[in-house]
Amino acid sequence: MSLGRAIALGVGVCLGSLVAQDCPAVASVLPNGTFAGSLDGASCQLGDRTPYAPYRLDLPVRGQIKIELSGSPADLSLTLRDASGSKVDSGASLLRPIEAGSYTVLVNGRAAGQTGSYTVNTSFTSEPGVLCSLFPNIGGDQTVQGKLPGSGCLALDGTPYEAYTLTTDGAGTLTVAATSQDFTPMVAVRSIDGRPLSLLTANSLNVVLDADSQYLVLIFSADQSTGAYQIANTYRPADGETCRSRKTLADSDSDSGAITAASCFVTIAGSGDQSYYNYYDFTLPGAGLVTASATSGDFTATLNLLDAAGNILAVDSGGGGIDAQFNVRSSLRAQLTAGSYRLQVLSDLPSGGNYAVNYAFQAGNPQPCAAGALHAGDQLNSALTDGGCRTSLGLSDLYTLTLPSAGTVDLEISSGMFDAILAIRDSKDNLIVRDDEVEGLSVAHVTADLPAGVYTVAGAATSYAGNYQLTARFTAHDIPACTFAQSLDLNGGFVQRLGPRSCIGANGQPVDYYTFTLAVDALVLAVMTSSEVDGYLTLYDANGNVLRNDDNTYGSNDPLIVQYLAAGTYRLAVRGASSTVGGLYQVDLRTTTGPRPPLCTPKSTVAAGDTVSGVITYTGCQYTDNSFADLYQMNLPADAAIDLRLNSSEFDAYLVLLDSKGAVIDEDDDGGGSTNSRIARNLAAGTYYVVVKPFGDYISHGAYTLITKTL
């Protein structure tokens, strides 16, 4: 292809996609439930022009999920994607282990123009002895339907519960009302770190909440009964609270506003800095296209589009370009279903400033993104503009790349005007591999060894827009099958370099395989550490079925898997989390034979006057902060003043005291002197749980002594 033709193709992508976008998952599905729908001419379309319907699935704990499709199973299929957009599994029926997190379930037609109704049944069984933590979001003014038990979460006393994460825009009063035809619901509100803000009460409660905070809304059954329920939240801003909705937007609307110290704010994690914003509400009576923009000469706005639960559906920062007066315009576009939504305008400067917002809604069917052609040897000079495609990556240009044979694809996008993302997707728009520009380098680069086939290349922007250059190279060669797996000693490690001599994984990136055999049942810990590779671990059984995977449980770039396994042979896959040039790493394996450890169930019951010695290791509970912990049950037959002491010379001791439903009653770091901890307080009669753990350090371990006394 000539350079002139390449330029024409690049511009054609922008002009041909003026209202095109992927469809975000707005509707949610329960881990155990049933939902129904239909694919028709109004459905969203994948890159191969087959219709699809997306659904959000939130799992607060790992386990095993079964998803079954009925209705027109011969004509439709399921695809399960993780939060990155990568395919986890597909087919008419899925049954597999799954990690905690957010997923998308796609119901997809097998051919372009496919129509038909469907019903999908989900069934989830949680891993026993594991704490729930990644709860789905719920809005301050939202009604949700649920089922108890649904996600398999159990309080420490064995009571099933469901929980939701609530984020406030400002200080106010939250009213939670729960109803059920099957049981008497009990509700409670806690801080995000587990502190109770209300008593566990029947049916409804009112609680005053602060601004800029996250909370947990929990529902239990009063008598261990189960069934369907409904939670209705109502949030009313406090008198004098200045963080309020600027207005409710009509179908075609605008507003001139200012972000000031009286605006809403969020505290940026890790820095303590505050980011200020204003927000707008709108409700759609039916499906259609939403377009919104924010223009300012004082700051660069970030536009966030949120659903009623607070999940972010679309984001843009500077994608609308800069005008002659140096005003920066941010814009977004999304195909949405009927429902309530929120639009946030955030300032990148603490000082804020003036801005103008424009909003429009147009009822109608979604328009798929068009893709230009990309060939080996192309050097495309084009531009991301406001009229480009909107994908899950953001403002994007799409190109179809056809590989006539297997080989190495080498892609690079560079721009001096925006922070670039480069991604390769399959024919069903599932992410294969991506690379994000490292700030200041102005280049995103992907090298992948892929089989013959049709792929989509996406060039996208994390912020801003403008001119870019995209180059493509291809070298044909066979991709050898990977039959070798390095034997990994039990309770040993291996140092290796991920790179050219590694195998090639499904994402076209290097991967090393290791195998190990357990003569008897054992708890296994596998960890990958590296200063050069953002690691990713996958554990397979002898038949190649995925049992576990992890990205960064051991730290920001290091994965860790702890799993109880039956005797047999297993395989570990060690790779980078995304596009990588490889580097040195170490993989370690530790095993403890014997029966399954209690993990996050209590090791034993302690009473006043007891002294318990133990050792913190990976055989304990993986606590919510990723440290390892031991749990003990404490029963008080009458009100008492208790004195708990945790002493250790091998780690910085930390004590947490929980009630029977898992709410944090008290905690302490160094109250016992030096790095020892102590909790001394009056407690009412009842059942409590003592958490013995290191202070915020997931690699700390060692011996400890727990002393329980009454004052």
Distance of CA 302 to the CA centre of its chain: 20
pTM: 0.94
528 contacts 586 by C-beta, under 8 angstroms = yes
Instruction: Name which of 400-404, 622-626, 660-664 the model is least confident about.
Output: 622-626
Fold equal for 3-17+369-476 and 28-126: yes
User: What is residue 442's predicted lDDT score, i.e. its pLDDT?
Assistant: 75
Distance of CA 158 to the CA centre of its chain: 27
61 contacts 149 by C-beta, under 8 angstroms = no
Rounded-to-5 percentages of helix, strand, coil across the chain: 0, 60, 40
The answer to whether domain 486-593 has CATH 3.40.50.720 is no
Q: Tokens at residue 226, please? A: 């189960």
pLDDT digits (tens, 9 = 90+) for 435-462: 998 766 679 999 999 999 999 999 999 8
To the nearest 10°, report the CA torsion of 373, 374, 380, 383.
50
Burial level of 674, CB count in 10 A (0-12/13-18/19+)? exposed
pLDDT reading at 4 higher than 60: no
Architecture of domain 3-17+369-476 in this structure: Sandwich (2.60)
User: What is residue 38's predicted lDDT score, i.e. its pLDDT?
Assistant: 93
User: What is residue 19's predicted lDDT score, i.e. its pLDDT?
Assistant: 59
Nearest to residue 428, comparing CAs of 58, 104, 6?
A: 104
Question: How high is the mean pLDDT of the chain?
Answer: 92
To the nearest 10°, report the CA torsion of 180, 186, 191, 193.
-100
User: What is residue 555's predicted lDDT score, i.e. its pLDDT?
Assistant: 76
What mean pLDDT is predicted for residues 235-255?
95
The answer to whether domain 604-710 has CATH 3.40.50.1220 is no
Q: How confident is the model at residue 270 (pLDDT cuts 50, 70, 90)?
A: low
pLDDT digits (tens, 9 = 90+) for 302-341: 999 999 999 999 999 999 988 888 899 999 999 999 999 9
User: What is residue 326's predicted lDDT score, i.e. its pLDDT?
Assistant: 86
Look up tokens 């995925």; give the residue: 546
The answer to whether domain 137-237 has CATH 2.60.40.420 is no
pLDDT reading at 404 higher than 50: yes
User: What is residue 58's predicted lDDT score, i.e. its pLDDT?
Assistant: 97
What mean pLDDT is predicted for residues 642-659?
96
What is the distance between the alpha carbons of residues 25 and 57, in angstroms, rounded to a whole number? Answer: 9
User: What is residue 375's predicted lDDT score, i.e. its pLDDT?
Assistant: 96
The per-residue b/e assignment along 353-388, b for 16 or more CB within 10 angstroms, e otherwise, is eebbbbbbbeeeebbbbbbbbbbbebebebbbbbbb
pLDDT reading at 2 higher than 80: no
Nearest to residue 280, comparing CAs of 252, 245, 313?
A: 245
pLDDT digits (tens, 9 = 90+) for 26-79: 999 999 999 999 999 899 999 999 999 999 999 999 999 999 998 766 789 999
Architecture of domain 245-363 in this structure: Sandwich (2.60)
User: What is residue 181's predicted lDDT score, i.e. its pLDDT?
Assistant: 95
Indicate the domain borders of the chain.
Answer: 3-17+369-476, 28-126, 137-237, 245-363, 486-593, 604-710
What mean pLDDT is predicted for residues 103-110?
95
Q: Which residue has the higher pLDDT, 217 or 697?
A: 217
Alpha-carbon separation of residue 35 from 54, 55, 70, 389 (angstroms): 12, 10, 11, 30
CATH of 28-126, one of 3.40.50.2000, 2.40.37.10, 3.40.190.10, 2.60.120.380: 2.60.120.380
What percent of the chain shows pLDDT beyond 90? 84
Nearest to residue 292, comparing CAs of 308, 269, 316?
A: 316
pLDDT reading at 120 higher than 60: yes
User: What is residue 6's predicted lDDT score, i.e. its pLDDT?
Assistant: 28
What mean pLDDT is predicted for residues 508-526?
97
User: What is residue 539's predicted lDDT score, i.e. its pLDDT?
Assistant: 98
What mean pLDDT is predicted for residues 372-394?
93
What is the distance between the alpha carbons of residues 698 and 695, in angstroms, rounded to a whole number? Answer: 9
What is the distance between the alpha carbons of residues 696 and 582, in angstroms, rounded to a whole number? Answer: 30
User: What is residue 16's predicted lDDT score, i.e. its pLDDT?
Assistant: 37
